[in-house]
Amino acid sequence: MIRLVVGLGNPGKEYERTRHNAGFWLVERFASSKGIALRKDGKFKALVGRIEGSSPASAAWLLLPQSFMNASGQPVQMLAGFFRIKPDEILVIHDELDFPPGVAKLKQGGGIAGHNGLKDISQRLATHEYWRLRLGVGKPPAGREGADYVLEKPPAEERAAIDAAIEKSLGVLPLCLSGDMQSAMHQLHTEDKPPAKKEPEKKEVPVKEPEKKEPEKKGLFSSLIGRKK
């Protein structure tokens, strides 16, 4: 069961549309769709929202650290410690250079591939065994540094692909919150197949029956000639 959903990004207007803020985009969209207010909490150095459960113990939290990416771990550690949330009950949503725009993958643990936000979270929690939802933003062009690339705004076509991946991820988030991670992974990782094209219906051409010819009637004269004597 996921009790804490963390979106990674950098605070401030200058960063809000950059690739590094993909985690913010998803959490903000989820909060908006559920009518959840994300309020600034100075104690946790983050924007925090509460997802109501059937009981106080089953409530979950949304967290957007406001301490910049390389210090994302402190708000996560503080809120998780305050509410006694274990690492395997945490889902961190972040941008992923290894996937092209439009791809989203869910996994637990694993390497952090130089992501500064994940690096700080892992150090603060003393483990990699939290869950991660990775939103592909694509690799930088040859000769470009990843650190610069993620701080740029994606072009419209890439942003549309990332938004489509976010939309699909929003569909599996309730499964994550309920603890059904296997179903969430299956649904998220299954590619949508385009609808099959319908073959045009072939119209049957009616076959014309050959016209029946009436046998020719011989005249009386012909019949008389043809008689044998």
Active-site residues, by number, are 20
- What are the beta bridge partners of residue 51? 60
HSE (CB half, 13 Å, CA atoms) of 212? 2
Residue with tokens 């909060």: 31
Tokens of 18: 């950059």
Residue with tokens 């990674």: 8
Query: Are 20 and 10 in contact, with CB atoms under 8 Å apart?
Result: yes
Tokens of 214: 């009436």
Tokens of 202: 């072939």
Query: Are 87 and 129 in contact, with CB atoms under 8 Å apart?
Result: yes
